Amino acid sequence: MSVTVFGIRHHGPGCARSLLHALDRLQPDCVIVEGPPDADAEIDELQRDGFFPPIALVVYAAEDPKRAVFYPFAEFSPEWQALLWAKRHGVPARFADLAWTHRFGASAEEEDGEREAAAERGDPLGWLARADGYADGERWWNDRIEERGGDVEIFAAIAEAMLALRRELGLQETLLAERREAAMRRCLRDAQRGGAERIAFVCGAWHAPALDLERVKKSEDDALLKGLPKTKVATTWTPWTNERLTFASGYGAGIAAPGWYEHLFAGGSAITERWLARAARALRSEELEASSASVIEAVRLCAALAGLRGRRNAGLAETLEAVQHVFAGGSETWNAVLRKRLLVGERLGVLPEGLVRLPLEQDLIAQRKRLRLEPTAAPKTLELDLRESGGLARSVFLHRLLALGIAWGALDERPRSRGTFKEAWALQWKPEFALALVDASAFGTTIVEAAAARISHAAERASALAELVTLLERAQLAELPGAAAAVLAKVHTRSAATAEADALFDAIPPLARLVRYGDSRTSDRAAVRAIARELARRAHLALRAAVSGLSEDAARTWVERLRQHHASLALLEDAELDADLQSALLRMADSPADAELRGLAVRLLREARALAPARVARYVELELSAGQDPLLAARWLAGFLEGSGALIVHDAELLALLDQWMAGLTDEHFQNVLPIARRTFGSFPPPERRALADALLRKPNQRASEAPDALFELDAARSASAIETVARFLGLELAEEHR
Amino acid sequence: MNDTLRQPAEIACAAELTALAAHDERPRPPRWRLSPWAVVDYILGTRLPDGTEITAKYVGDRRLVEIAVATLATDRALLLLGVPGTAKSWLSEHLAAAISGDSTLLVQGTAGTAEELLRYGWNYARLIAEGPSEAALVPSPLLHAMRDGKIGRVEELTRIPSDVQDTLITMLSEKTLPIPELGSAVHAVRGFNVIATANSRDRGVNELSSALQRRFNVVVLPLPATLEDEVAIVQSRVASLVTALALPAEPPALEQIRRVVAVFRELRSGVTEDGKAKVKSPSGTLSTAEAISVVTSGLALASHFGDGVLKAADMASGMVGAIVKDPVQDPPVFREYLETVVKERDGWKDLYRACRDHLR
């Protein structure tokens, strides 16, 4: 009976290659891999075909799926290769570590403590690296272990080095680390009891010395592992991406260059040459210059550099330097291209068909197949036409996923203002959606059911009116009538309890959009309209109190808000509401509200023809009268005119009032008023400004009469007959002078 | 004492080169005086087993020096690129000295550099008297380098007109220089290579043609990464210059050097060293080389007109001269920096006053 421990580095391609040779030689009858024993059942799934890494093993607390750990595997991970070896040779394989059943029970403080202790200890490999004349452990390990050919003796050397390191450093291990190693030893003893003759144990190099069963008594381990808390856990496989492999996760630190590791693991001859040729192709694909001659020079530089640095083969650093100094003229700007195309790569893992245990995930896959939406790791855009049933169905599906917290698609918000039937989505599948799916499974077993339940759940807990309205919009877009009705009811009760005018106003635009644009979807527009009407009425009532005593800045946000509200009411096309707003604005125009807001009120009323021109003129005269503070007058004008000057261009009386006021300002007042006036008039479209200037340049007496013949020089004799004809059409009596 | 104002590197550092060669047992490329490893050691400095101290010629990234040496070992030409004052020529000279034992095969690139300077010219008296002959040929430094298997140097490559630059292409790719007048060609001997330097910030430069660019491996020399690196560079260069100029002044206090370097770095990067405040950058490059010259000229002032100890007042005129390059834009920039940064610093009052007086 024998136990052979293989100390490896997680995701080490050289380790993986050496490990395969070593396993072939050892021919073990039991393979144990460092990993969560909770997921032993998942190893059996590997018997199926169709696993294409990168994939990850997920372990999560069944009651609280947000607490989850991921164990990613790449093609070149030694653990993955060990599992595959066991599968090929029909040998049982299992995981060994402290089960997450016990680890999820740890409180947040305990976890923080462990993390701090680990951070304090730093990278133990750093000591070996420094002894060997290297600056950091990562690089040392790559040079000494990963980037050498596959040789079997390396594991004995690693174990010896780690034993020496642990003995010399004599670090105090944390309780968690001790428990984990005790659990690993326990697994080992179990396997021995099960009758295994030649056990291969694959674990992180650091743990290798701890697996000597002679040195630790079983009773000590049992004492360490006694009475641990228990949490119910569930496990599953999930696709992963190369990008994700670069992040730290369950198996410790992330790796910077999965693409390079893949390349190393694939092995073969001419590793540097093929890598640099691939680099050249990657650069060419982005239209960058990289000739074959440059590849040759880069290979030569790599060889010279490796020689100078005392390495057998060029490593990643040498190849990147060669690219930078031969291809890229010394600049680092091409590194981003290389990183995306070569160092990391855009690979997305694949699981066998039918290996999906979550009903919700099954439903998702069935639906996306039906709608022909393929998940991709690289971002992709999708334009949908909502008038077609296919486009609408996809849009609804993506909106439902959004409601589930799975942001596969991000909706480009801009086109909404352009048209009501086009939607542009940016699609990108991210591995963490697997976790969101697990989380969402708590709400139901199908996408539609879970989405509705999750929205209703969120509505129960939402307190702000704006939040509820957003949920309502989402429910409508996702075509979840049940949830929409529930949220609508919540909006109803909530609006009654909302007294803040700003919240009321802000809730109206999304509702108005729903009423107006809901027609490309089937939704209960009448109910939404009713709510919008009620909200608008209550908002109008609250308006006068809300806008009194505002600071200048607050007033400006209200100007914006009122403009938006006005536009929303236009969408609703409800004469009664319009009249309601007008009376509210009238009240505001006469109230002591901020000058700019009062100006805006008069402007909106005039546009709606709710004020006769004479009344408007009176307001202007009043606000611009000599007794008024010129600054306030200017701000009133800003509210009255900003955005469009058509009002005064065509109304000579108003223009005259304005001219009179402006001309009457003292120098000092004029200077004070100038910035506001400039902002106001600067907001007019250029043709209006030109027309305004033209009107002002005309003589005052002409301006007052505004007679047509002041504008055109008419030849009375030649135009007489035309005028007569037109007059007859219109049934008018001609004045004496035109006869 | 030798009367030469400045000796070439292979003479100034002859003792170090001999010591390195004596200990160098690694393989040397053909006609190299030292192995590539020893060249790297010569440039970056080390201590030999017998205790000989090899001074560091270049303070900075070891990687870049390794790439430069490896490039030359693969018979690819080396182009050192960088803003002014990043030790391009300095590194080029020492590389040539260490590899070929001769850093003098140099062509200085200017707008007026003609093809004859890169290839060969003629002794016209002889040419007329005897007709084209080997004896009438005047070889360029590069032709010498080709014949002897040494490193040839081209300074300020991008200042040379583009059509003249391209003369180098045959030499670099075919390693041959045809001499049609004689009906013969010079074939480069093993060990020949070229180090060129070019300024990446200079205005009015002639871009390299891409054909020529492809013949070079390019190493971009950065500005010193940290304040300490830059202070070390200034200190060591000032020390050697003081010896060369035989200035009677005391070696400058580290504190003075540190202040000059800090001011230059801050103005160059636009941020104070503590990363807390933004400052405007003047139009000049404010390179390390300029910091060196500010300190040496300050020392010269101190020794000839002052009490021999470097003070803020001695450096102020040099600093103002280095910083204020544009008479219109730069004075307000420097004045603002003085008022907002220098004035507030503990112990910098003397520098503030001295600079302010000079700025008037």
Supply the pLDDT for residue B202: 66
Residues β-bridged to residue B80: B197, B219
Q: Give the 3-state DSSP-derived string for B41-94, with helices as H, strands as E and coil as C.
A: HHHHCEECCCCCEECCCCCCCHHHHHHHHHHHHCCCEEEEEECCCCCHHHHHHH
Mean pLDDT on A257-278: 87
Regarding whether B60 and B179 lie in a shared domain, the answer is yes
Q: Do B36 and A304 lie within an 8 Å CB cutoff?
A: yes
CATH number for the domain harbouring residue B162: 3.40.50.300
Regarding whether A671 and A630 lie in a shared domain, the answer is yes
Is A265 part of any domain? no
Which residue on chain A is closest to B217 by alpha carbon? A326
Percent of chain A with pLDDT over 90: 8
Regarding whether A204 and A125 lie in a shared domain, the answer is yes
pLDDT > 80? residue A625: no
Residues of A with CB under 8 A from a CB of B: 289, 291, 293-294, 297, 300-301, 303-305, 307-309, 317, 321, 325-326, 328-331
Angle between helices B254-269 and B330-337 (to 10 degrees): 120
Is B2 part of any domain? no
Last residue in a domain, options B220, B255, B282? B220
If one compares A441 and A128, the residue with the highest pLDDT of the two is: A128
Q: How many contacts, defined by CB atoms under 8 Å, are there between A and B?
A: 54
pLDDT > 80? residue B292: yes
Supply the pLDDT for residue B199: 86
Q: Name the token pair of A16.
A: 């993986």
pLDDT > 70? residue A711: no
Supply the ipTM of this predicted assembly.
0.80
Q: Which helix (H) or strand (E) holds B227?
A: helix B227-245
pLDDT > 60? residue A701: no
Is A323 part of any domain? yes
Regarding whether B316 and B189 lie in a shared domain, the answer is no
CA-nearest of A104, A111, A118, A97 to A204 is A97
Q: Do B210 and A289 lie within an 8 Å CB cutoff?
A: yes
Supply the pLDDT for residue B153: 95
Q: Any idea what DSSP says for residue A63?
A: S
If one compares A562 and A710, the residue with the highest pLDDT of the two is: A562
User: Nearest 5°: phi and psi at A411?
Assistant: -80, 125
Last residue in a domain, options B192, B220, B248? B220
pLDDT tens figures, A649-677: 777 777 877 887 778 778 887 888 888 88
Residues A565, A543 contacting (CB under 8 angstroms): no
Q: Give chain B positions within 8 Å (CB) of A293.
A: 214
Regarding whether A239 and A103 lie in a shared domain, the answer is yes
CA-nearest of B177, B264, B226, B220 to B82 is B220
Residues A258, A245 contacting (CB under 8 angstroms): yes
Is B60 part of any domain? yes
Interface contact B283, partner A, CB < 8 A: no
Q: What beta strand segments (E) does A140-257 contain?
A: 198-204, 233-239
Mean pLDDT on B114-130: 92
If one compares A83 and A133, the residue with the highest pLDDT of the two is: A83
Residue type present at position B86: T
Q: Give chain A positions within 8 Å (CB) of B213.
A: 329
Interface contact B220, partner A, CB < 8 A: yes
Last residue in a domain, options B220, B252, B270? B220
Q: Name the token pair of A317.
A: 């650093």
Regarding whether B194 and B262 lie in a shared domain, the answer is no
Regarding whether B215 and B231 lie in a shared domain, the answer is no
Name the band, by pLDDT with cuts 50, 70 and 90, for residue A705: very low
Regarding whether B107 and B47 lie in a shared domain, the answer is yes
Name the band, by pLDDT with cuts 50, 70 and 90, for residue A703: very low
Is A488 part of any domain? no
Dist. CA A681–CA A695, nearest whole Å: 15
Is A159 part of any domain? yes
Is B1 part of any domain? no
Interface contact B169, partner A, CB < 8 A: no
Last residue in a domain, options A344, A376, A398? A344
Regarding whether A713 and A695 lie in a shared domain, the answer is no
pLDDT > 80? residue A101: yes
Q: Do A321 and B63 lie within an 8 Å CB cutoff?
A: yes
Mean pLDDT on B297-318: 83
Q: What is the CA angle B355-B359-B360, rounded to 5? A: 130
Supply the pLDDT for residue B123: 93
Rounded to a whole number of angstroms, the distance from the CA of A122 to the nearest CA of chain B is 25
Q: Give chain A positions within 8 Å (CB) of B74.
A: 297, 300-301, 303-304
Supply the pLDDT for residue A274: 92
Is A556 part of any domain? no
Name the band, by pLDDT with cuts 50, 70 and 90, for residue A416: low
Supply the pLDDT for residue A599: 87
Supply the pLDDT for residue B121: 92
Is B4 part of any domain? no
Tracing tokens 């140099």 back to the chain, one arrives at B106
Regarding whether B88 and B61 lie in a shared domain, the answer is yes
Buried b (16+ CB within 10 A) or exposed e, A462-494: beebeebbbbbbbbbbbbbeebbebbbebbeeb
Range of the domain at A311: 270-344
Regarding whether B312 and B188 lie in a shared domain, the answer is no
Mean pLDDT on B30-43: 93
Regarding whether B336 and B316 lie in a shared domain, the answer is yes
Q: Do B218 and A291 lie within an 8 Å CB cutoff?
A: no
CB neighbourhood size of A542 (10 A): 19
Q: Give chain B positions within 8 Å (CB) of A309.
A: 66
Name the band, by pLDDT with cuts 50, 70 and 90, for residue A559: confident
Q: Give chain B positions within 8 Å (CB) of A301.
A: 67, 70-71, 74, 76, 217
Q: Do B213 and A329 lie within an 8 Å CB cutoff?
A: yes
Mean pLDDT on A563-579: 85
pLDDT > 50? residue A157: yes
pLDDT > 80? residue A624: no
- Between the ranges A115-119, A235-239, B83-87, B124-128, where is the mean pLDDT highest? B124-128
pLDDT tens figures, B194-234: 999 998 776 557 888 888 888 899 999 888 888 888 888 88
Domains held by chain A: number:
5
Regarding whether B99 and B159 lie in a shared domain, the answer is yes
Regarding whether B176 and B276 lie in a shared domain, the answer is no
Mean pLDDT on A454-462: 84
Q: Which of A121-125, A427-431, A669-673, B329-333 has the lowest mean pLDDT?
A: A121-125
pLDDT tens figures, A328-348: 887 888 888 888 888 887 777
Regarding whether B156 and B36 lie in a shared domain, the answer is yes
B176-179 and B184-187: which strand pairing?
antiparallel
Nearest to A330 among B74, B210, B220 (CB): B220
Domains held by chain B: number:
2
Name the band, by pLDDT with cuts 50, 70 and 90, for residue B106: very high
Regarding whether A232 and A287 lie in a shared domain, the answer is no
Mean pLDDT on A239-245: 78
Mean pLDDT on A625-630: 72
Tally the C-alpha atoms within 13 A of residue B273's C-alpha that lie toward its C-beta. 14
Q: Give chain A positions within 8 Å (CB) of B210.
A: 289
Is B33 part of any domain? yes
Supply the pLDDT for residue B120: 93
Regarding whether A291 and A206 lie in a shared domain, the answer is no
- Between the ranges A76-85, A123-132, A464-473, B282-291, where is the mean pLDDT highest? A76-85
Dist. CA B213–CA B194, nearest whole Å: 13
Range of the domain at B80: 9-220
